[in-house]
Structure 1
Amino acid sequence: MNNIIEKILDHRSVRSFEDKLLSAKQISTIVECAQAASTSSYIQAYSIIGVTDPEKKANLAELAGPQSYVENNGHLFVFCADLHRMDIVAEMENEDLTAPIESTEKFMVACIDAALAAQNAALAAESMDLGICYIGGIRNDLQQVSEILDIPHRVVPLFGLVVGYPKKRSDKKPRLPQANVYHENGYQTDKQTFIGQLEAYNETISDYYEQRTKGKRKETWTQQMADMAGKKSRMYMKDFVEKQGLKKQ
Structure 2
Amino acid sequence: MSSPRFAAASAAQGSHDELLQRRYGESQPADTSDWNAALDAMLSHRSVRTYLPKPVPEGVLQLAIAAAQSAPTSSSLQAWSVVAVEDRDRRAQLEKLAGPNPQIVSAPLFLVWLADLSRLRGIASREGRTGEGLDYFESILLASIDAALAAQNALVALESLGLGTCYIGGIRNHPAEVAEMLGLPPEAFGVFGMTVGYPDPAVATEIKPRLPQSLVLHREHYQQAAPDADLQAYDDRMRAFQAGQAMATRGWTSVAASRIADTAALKGRDRLLETVRRMGFKVK
Q: Is the 8 A contact 1:14 1:166 kept in 2?
A: yes
**Equivalent position of 2:280 in the other structure:** 245
1:112 aligns with 2:128: no
Query: 1:102–1:245: 8 Å Cα contact kept in structure 2?
Result: no
The equivalent position to 1:157 in structure 2, one of 181, 187, 190, is 190
Alpha carbon RMSD of aligned pairs, Å?
1.4
**Which residue is 1:141 aligned to?**
174
- Partners of 1:112 and 1:221 in 2: how far apart? 26
Q: Deviations over 1:143-197 (max 9, x none)?
A: 21111100111111011111111003411110000110111111112x2x53232
The answer as to whether partners of 1:107 and 1:247 remain within 8 angstroms in 2 is: no
More divergent stretch after superposition (149-158 vs 230-239): 230-239
Matched residue type, 2:259: M
SS at match of 2:54: coil
Whether contact under 8 Å (2:172, 2:190) holds in the other structure is: yes
- Residue 209 (structure 1) aligned with residue 242 (structure 2): yes
Shift of 1:77: 0.8
Q: Work out whether residues 76 and 163 of structure 1, in 8 Å CA contact, stay in contact via their aligned partners in 2.
A: yes
AA matched with 2:38? I
User: Secondary structure at the residue paired with 2:111?
Assistant: strand
Equivalent-residue separation in structure 1 for 2:103 and 2:71 (angstroms)? 26
Distance 1:66 1:164 in 2: 19
Unaligned runs of 5+ in 2: 1-34
The reply on whether 1:36 has 2:82 as its aligned counterpart is no
Q: What is residue 184 of structure 1 aligned with on the other side?
A: 219
Aligned 1:1-249 pairs, distance under 5 A? 1-98=35-132, 100-167=133-200, 168-189=203-224, 191=225, 193-213=226-246, 217-232=248-263, 233=266, 234-246=269-281, 248-249=283-284
CA distance in 1, matches of 2:142, 2:180: 24
For 2:245 and 2:191, locate their aligned partners in 1 and report how far apart those are by CA, in whole Å: 30
Could you tell me how far apart the structure 2 residues matched to 1:88 and 1:209 are? 48
One-letter amino acid of the counterpart of residue 83, structure 1 = L
Find the residue that maps to 2:192 and give its secondary structure. strand
Name the SS of the counterpart of 1:236 in structure 2.
helix
Q: Is the 8 A contact 1:12 1:173 kept in 2?
A: yes
Amino acid of the residue matched to residue 226 of structure 1? A
> Residue 212 of structure 1: CA displacement?
3.1
Superposition TM-score, scaled by structure 2 size: 0.82
Structure 2 counterpart of 1:124, one-letter code:
A
Report which of the two structures shows the higher radius of gyration computed on alpha carbons: 2
Task: Supply the AA of the counterpart residue of 1:245.
Answer: G
More off after superposition, 238-247 vs 21-30:
238-247
1:157 aligns to what SS in structure 2?
A: strand
Distance 1:62 1:95, change over 3 A: same
Aligned residues: 244
Tell which deviates more after alignment, 237-246 or 124-133.
Answer: 237-246
Cα displacement string for residues 211-235 of structure 1 (whole angstroms, at most 9, x for unaligned residues):
333xx73222111111111142222
Q: For residue 84 of structure 1, report the CA deviation from its aligned partner.
A: 0.4
> Aligned with 1:78: secondary structure?
strand
- Once residues 162 and 244 of structure 1 are traced to their aligned partners in structure 2, the CA distance between those partners, rounded to angstroms, is 25
TM-superposed CA distance for 1:247, in Å, is 5.4
Q: CA deviation at 1:87?
A: 1.1
Task: Tell me, in whole angstroms, the C-alpha distance in 2 between the residues paired with 1:247 and 1:178.
Answer: 39
CA distance in 1, matches of 2:283, 2:137: 7
Q: Which TM-score applies when normalising by structure 1?
A: 0.93
AA aligned to 1:153 is: P
The CA deviation string for residues 53-102 of structure 1, in whole angstroms up to 9 with x for no partner, is 2221110112221322102213111100000011111111101112x101
Structure 1 residue runs without a partner (length 5+): none
Three-state SS of the structure 2 residue aligned to 1:47 is: strand
Identity in percent: 36
Decide which moves more: 62-71 or 107-116.
62-71
